[in-house]
Structures are given as C-alpha cells and as structure tokens.
Structure 1
Amino acid sequence: MHRAFAPRRARVVAVVVGAAALLGGAVLAVVVPEVGTFDRVAFVVVGALVAGFMALQARVRVVVDERGLQVQNLFLSRRLEWAEVVQVRFGGGQPWVQLDLSDGDVLPVMAVQRADGAAAEAEAQRLATLVALHGPRDDR
C-alpha cells in the first residue's frame, strides 16, 4: 500500500517526446544542408531544452512512508506529514488530485492524473485511504 504514485501515460509520453526531441535536434543539425553553425547548435539546444522539460514531467511522483508523503511535481517538491493532509480531492474538472492541507493551502498532486482514467481513480482512492489510515484520529 505504501508504493509510490506516478502517472502512467504522462511518463510514457514524456520519455518518448523527450527522446524524440533530443534525437530530432541532433539529426537536424547533421542532415539539414546549407545551414550555419549557429543554426546547427540551435537545433541541438532546442531538442535538449524540450528533453529537459520532458524529464521534469517524467520524474513527477509521490513517495509515501509511515511518516508522510513527498510530493514531487514539475518544479515543486514538498514533504508533508500525514496530519497536514485534511482531504484528497479528485473532481471539479481538475486534471490531477488535489490535497487540502491543514494550513488552508491546496497542493496539486501531478502524480495522479485524470488522463490515466480508471487507474487514476483507483490511485486517488488509494491515496485517500492512506490519508485516512495515517491522519489524526480522536483516540490518539
């Protein structure tokens, strides 16, 4: 139950697009005739930038343990204790799960994405179950 959460389709798309961009930029730099050095370097740099962005998307995940969860989104990483998570929401047309936090903040969790369909619904329920199991209880 404490296995990590990670998107399925987004990770596959990110890896494929990133590799294609990097390879495509390198191939264009070599095979396009009559372009200068600046253009050749630009092909490779643009491919590398796209691949870098896709690598950020591919590393999106949530790691859970007995103490809490580590949310790694595109640019933000945040460690939360279980008691900080008040509610798990996956509705309202949002593309990914959102956590309502005890300090009033809302934290998006890009690791559980609506694009994954029924698998995402199951993962959202698993996360909600973990929050309920580990969160504060009246008898503690």
Structure 2
Amino acid sequence: MPESTAPALPVTFRPARTRAVLLTAGVTMFVVITTVGMMLEKLGPGERASFVFTATLFLGVLVLLARPKVVADEQGVTVVNITRTRRLAWAEILRVNLRPGDPWVFLDLSDGTSLPVLGIQPGIAKQRAIQDARALRGLADSRGSGAEQG
C-alpha cells in the first residue's frame, strides 16, 4: 500500500456510530429509570436510591462499551479496548487483519500473539471500518517491521 494513502499522524480511529448509539442509549436509560424511580410515590428514599444506582450501573457499562479506540502517532499505536490499554511500537505490529466475518481488527504482533482492536469494528459502519483498517495497515506497513517483510 503506498504511503500516500496513509493518514497524517496523529490519528484516532473509533467506531463513531456505535459509540453514539451506546452513549445515547445509556443517557436515555439513565433518565428514564431515574425519572420512574422518582415518580413512584410509594417508594422510600432507599428504594429511589436503588433506581438511581441501577441507572448509573447501566450507564457505566454502556460507557465502557463505548470506550474502544486506536490512537496512532509517530512512535506507535495505543490500543484502548473495554478495560485494557496497550501501547505498541510500530515495529511490534507485523500485520493488521480484518477478514470477512471478523467482529473487529486483529493485530499480529512480533511476540507471536494477536491483539484484538475493538476501536475498528464493522458492526454498524462496515465501509468505515474497512477504510480505517486499510489506513492502519498502511501506517503499520510504512513504519513497522511489516515494511521489511514485503
């Protein structure tokens, strides 16, 4: 892949539509559950607090699910998944994979492992995920050890 197709650095890849849906659903659920809890007249303060706590818990889970992203800069890539963040140098990335049917991109690493990259996923926006995967592949090929392997 020619380097001219690679985006300018730094660049952040994230599933924007999925993130918007998750955050909108989370805020909506929080408002609805909290409102219902406050409107029920027979509930005591503890029961109302449990409604707010439950709404906050749902919102927190959806915020975690909306967290994934990939940040590429001159030194390497930072992969932020649901609960973990991992920093990789360009030389550690051998290949960027997004095969048909894959739920997200996978990175083949120089230590023989594979790292899922939830920040590029074809769920709602398949064409965008394909473009992002190609862009990340172009960056990895032009900057990493993949360039030496041919």
1:126 equivalent to 2:101? Answer no
Identify the residue that residue 112 of structure 1 maps to in structure 2.
120
SS of structure 2 residue aligned to 1:4:
strand
What's the Cα RMSD here? 1.4
TM, length-normalised to structure 1:
0.91
Q: Give the whole-Å Cα distance in 2 for the aligned partners of 1:53 and 1:134.
A: 36
Structure 1's consecutive aligned runs of 4 or more residues displaced over 6 angstroms after TM superposition are none
| Aligned length, in residue pairs | 138
The 5 A counterparts of 1:1-140 are 1=7, 2=9, 3-115=11-123, 116-136=125-145, 137-138=147-148
**Aligned partner of 1:12: which letter?**
A
TM, length-normalised to structure 2:
0.85
Structure 1's unaligned 5+ residue stretches are none
The 8 Å contact of residues 10 and 57 in structure 1, kept in 2 or not, is answered as no
**Aligned partner of 2:74: which letter?**
E
Q: Give the whole-Å Cα distance in 1 for the aligned partners of 2:21 and 2:142.
A: 33
Which whole-Å deviations, capped at 9, do the CAs of 1:11-33 have from their partners, x for residues lacking one? Answer: 11121011112212220221123
Q: Give the whole-Å Cα distance in 1 for the aligned partners of 2:132 and 2:80.
A: 16
Structure 2's unaligned 5+ residue stretches are 1-6
